Amino acid sequence: MGAGPGGMTAAIYASRARLTTVVLERNTAGGIMNVTERIENYPGFPQGVTGFELSELMKQQAIEFGADLREITSVVALEQRPGGGWLVVTDEETVAARAVVLSPGVEARRLGVPGEAEFMGHGVSYCATCDGPLYRDKEVVVIGGGDSAVEEGMFLARFASTVHVIHRRDELRAAKIAQERAFAQPNMHFHWNGQVRAIVGETKVEAVDYEDLLDHSQHTLPVAGVFFYVGQLPNTDFLQDVVALDDNGYIVTDEHLRTSRPGLFACGDARAGLIKQIANAVGEGALAAIEAEKYLDTLDFEAQQASVAATGTPEPAAG
């Protein structure tokens, strides 16, 4: 479930292993790659590749090997199937599966300041790639200091007259190469030790109020757009009573990517792992599918042994 790079790689491996493979995706295939302007660190693309292009290539490859991709289909529950396996309940249908690879990814964390929810879509955004062109020649602010904040800020700097970055620390967490580029960008301005207090405006965003955490002075920046990059939350609400999650809601697995329940595997950003990158999601997607295949082989072998013991004839493989 989930057709980001993790889920699509699992689908490529599973369908190529001739397993009947269904991919359930609530949006369109690609996951976060769909809203990433340019990807420069995925091997095989020395000039970089657009997120959209890489999504399309992965999707084609999965379909080519026979994966059945069902888009605009939200998974809402997982139930154990009587007699073994799982029922994957979506908003449209219920799919019976002998094994499931969970790859639901993460979504942007909300900061929860006044004005954030009210002005969503009216100046508040979590996706520069989607909304950046709307802010041509306007001033915008990016909240955050990690890779996403800096990379998306650089993208906004192509359109906006000025990109302000408010970060609550006095240095960025982003990769050094991204930092160097951002500091060299003439229309990017950094506001260190800043904590956003409110987004203000009448019918749309007009300014951001923030506090200098060192001297507690209050400031107002007149801007037309606010882009939040303050962390992420795993899309695992529907898994709360199904598999073990860590304190932050990420799926716990062992090194074989097995969750706490038999037949359920997990990969990618929603898994409690160390890094959140496409290359990692792809590697984990491959491993999850290979482990799922081994798991099914073991089930088939055990069923055959039991059948031979009971009747003297092997049971046909389930496929």
Ligand X SMILES: Cc1cc2nc3c(=O)[nH]c(=O)nc-3n(C[C@H](O)[C@H](O)[C@H](O)COP(=O)(O)OP(=O)(O)OC[C@H]3O[C@@H](n4cnc5c(N)ncnc54)[C@H](O)[C@@H]3O)c2cc1C
Burial of 128 (0-12, 13-18, 19+ CB in 10 A): buried
Q: Which residues bind ligand X (CB under 6 A)?
A: 1-7, 24-27, 31-33, 36, 39, 41-42, 74-75, 103-106, 148, 151-152, 235, 238, 268-269, 276-279, 281
- 267: annotated active-site residue: no
How would you classify the pairing of strands 188-191 and 162-166? parallel
Q: How far is the CB of 253 from ligand X (least distance, A)?
A: 13
Q: Which is nearer to ligand X, 3 or 97 (CB)?
A: 3
Q: How far is the CB of 197 from ligand X (least distance, A)?
A: 24
C-beta of residue 102 within 8 angstroms of C-beta of residue 270? yes
**Which CA distances in Å does 12 have to 43, 65, 75, 117, 229?**
18, 7, 20, 38, 31
Strands, sheet with 94-97, edge to edge from the N-terminal-most edge strand: 75-80, 86-90, 94-97
Q: Which is nearer to ligand X, 119 or 155 (CB)?
A: 155
Total count of residues recorded for the chain: 319
In sequence order, what E strands does the chain have? 22-24, 38-39, 49-50, 68-70, 75-80, 86-90, 94-97, 100-102, 106-108, 124-125, 139-143, 162-166, 188-191, 194-201, 205-212, 218-222, 225-228, 232-234, 264-266
Q: How far is the CB of 211 from ligand X (least distance, A)?
A: 26
Q: How far is the CB of 34 from ligand X (least distance, A)?
A: 7
Q: Which is nearer to ligand X, 215 or 241 (CB)?
A: 241
Nearest to 305 by CA among 318, 314, 295: 314
- 91: annotated active-site residue: no
Q: Which is nearer to ligand X, 65 or 238 (CB)?
A: 238
Q: Which is nearer to ligand X, 193 or 277 (CB)?
A: 277
What one-letter code names the amino acid at 276?
Answer: K
Q: How far is the CB of 31 from ligand X (least distance, A)?
A: 2
- 127: annotated active-site residue: yes
Q: In the structure encoding, which two tokens stand for residue 79, read together? A: 């139930």
Q: How far is the CB of 262 from ligand X (least distance, A)?
A: 21
Distance CA 152, CA 133 (A): 12
Q: Which of 68, 91, 131, 254 is catalytic?
A: 131
Nearest to 174 by CA among 162, 186, 190, 158: 190
Q: Which of 127, 147, 209, 300 is catalytic?
A: 127
Nearest to 228 by CA among 136, 127, 78: 127
Q: Which of 68, 91, 130, 246 is catalytic?
A: 130
Q: Which is nearer to ligand X, 156 or 208 (CB)?
A: 156
Residues annotated catalytic, as ranges: 127, 130-131
